[in-house]
Amino acid sequence: MNISDLKVCLLNDSFPPIIDGVANAVVNYASRIQELGGKSIVITPEHPEADDSAFSFPVYRYPGIDTRKLIGYMAGYPFSPAVAKRIKESGVSMLHSHCPISSNIFARSLRKLLDVPFVMTYHTKFDVEISEAVKGKLLQDGAVSALVNNISSCDEVWVVSEGAGKNLRSMGYKGDYIVMPNGVDIPKGRLPEDETRRLTKDERIPEGVPVYLFVGRLMWYKGIRVILDALKGLKSQDFDFRMVFVGGGQDEKEIKAYCSSLKLDDKVLFLGPVYDRRQLSAWYCRADLFLFPSDFDTNGLVVREAAACSLPAALIDGSCAAEGVTHGRNGFLIDGSAASLAVLLATAGQNKGLLKKTGQNAADELYISWPQAIDKAIDRYMTVIDNYKAGRYPQKKNPVDDYFQFQGTLMDLISQSKLLEPYL
């Protein structure tokens, strides 16, 4: 098959104007396929603020429920005859889901309708998400079991890192998987110094002090408590520094309150989300060390974004985000405690020469661009299509039974945990 004959339908529960790592992946996949001469279509839930006119590919939206206050995303009802009809008429040759919930359910019904192969990329530790949202082991186990059944329905499962694959195994998944890492859309190379200073100008950051950076959702499970506690220890030793948080999230209010309780307000800046990629690159270039003590993330795209700008990262040894990192060579590894991070910041964090050398190695050894990552995926698409046509994948069950099982579990979770009460 030639690339001009490839038409991929990409499905995800989040998509702009919702911005997260997975939505960014879908945008880059769709754009790269178009750029190479193939065709792509995105299927995602409706969003009241959506404007899809700027994309080079069509976006089909199915009915959605506004659950942004609850989970930060739109929830979709994954059966839309109108969207299914448009997809059938488009001649799709491949389905690629990036979320194992509504998107997978819709993809399964489309596979039956279109008779084309279906792969899914596992990006996020959903067991952690479930444990954060749902109380009660029986409910959590039921949700995880339904999730694994949905993932097992795919012809192939891709994971963004070995750690993501291990997480999937820990949830009970018994099938095979292929590691297909994500890339980043920040170009490799540092911005000119004058542009960096202009885009990051802030009177709260004096010249000459170390600048530490975090980019991502402001959620406790991202390791933010470890960062703040380490900074408290650093301040108690009379070290001067500035810490910059870029991003927003459900725990933002609590995080800011905790920061104030540690009397760190004079050292810590909360900038909110930065959507302009040039400005974000400038912050990566302005910082001396990227702090990402998260054992939640399966890939740590922000670590590679930092590497694009020769900014080394401090990571938890053994975490998914730390895959490929050697301590003191292309990054720094801690044991996950605030004390460990504080020691690092008081030693390596003050050594400009070491930080510069380590950052350059990170750029050379950790950086992966989106074209590199997606070109590898496209090669695999061709193999998947050949395998499907040759009957090498086992027949999968009709998705309807699993759908009702999944919906029943979800309704149980909502009713028993009373998750939606504040929003009804």
Give the pLDDT of residue 374: 97
The arrangement of secondary structure in 193-367, i.e. its CATH architecture, is: 3-Layer(aba) Sandwich (3.40)
On whether the CB atoms of residues 93 and 8 are closer than 8 A, the answer is yes
Residue with tokens 């193939």: 38
**Gap between the Cα atoms of 362 and 371, Å rounded:** 19
**Gap between the Cα atoms of 167 and 261, Å rounded:** 35
**Gap between the Cα atoms of 404 and 368, Å rounded:** 40
Domain ranges of the chain: 3-183+371-423, 193-367
Structure letter (DSSP) for residue 327:
B
Give the pLDDT of residue 101: 82
Closest CA to 408 of 398, 416, 397, 396: 416
Domain 3-183+371-423 has CATH 3.40.50.2000: yes
Question: Please, which residues bridge with residue 289 across strands?
Answer: 212
Q: What is the dihedral of CA 407, 412, 413, 419, to 10 degrees?
A: 110
Phi, psi (degrees; rounded to nearest 5) at 246: -115, 120
Task: Quote the distance between the C-alpha of residue 362 and its chain's center.
Answer: 20
Give the pLDDT of residue 260: 98
Q: DSSP string covering 87-129, please?
A: HHHHT--EEEES-TTHHHHHHHHHHHHH---EEEEE-S-HHHH
**Gap between the Cα atoms of 176 and 181, Å rounded:** 16
Predicted TM-score (pTM) of this structure: 0.80
Give the pLDDT of residue 250: 87
**Gap between the Cα atoms of 60 and 5, Å rounded:** 21
Same topology between domain 3-183+371-423 and domain 193-367: yes
Task: Quote the distance between the C-alpha of residue 123 and its chain's center.
Answer: 6
Task: List CB contacts of 324: < 8 A, sequence separation 6 or more.
Answer: 330, 365, 366
Task: List CB contacts of 279: < 8 A, sequence separation 6 or more.
Answer: 199, 200
Give the pLDDT of residue 201: 95
Retrieve residue 315's tokens: 């990571």
Per-residue pLDDT of the chain (424 residues; tens, 9 = 90+): 799 999 999 999 888 887 778 888 999 999 999 999 999 999 998 888 889 999 999 999 987 665 555 555 556 666 678 888 888 899 999 999 998 888 888 899 899 899 999 999 999 877 666 666 666 676 677 778 888 988 999 999 999 999 899 999 999 999 999 999 999 989 999 999 999 999 999 999 999 999 999 999 899 999 999 999 999 999 999 999 999 999 998 899 999 999 999 999 999 999 999 989 999 999 999 999 999 999 888 777 899 999 999 999 999 999 989 999 999 999 999 999 999 999 999 998 789 999 999 999 999 999 999 999 999 999 999 999 999 999 999 887 655 545 544 544 544 454 444 444 433 3
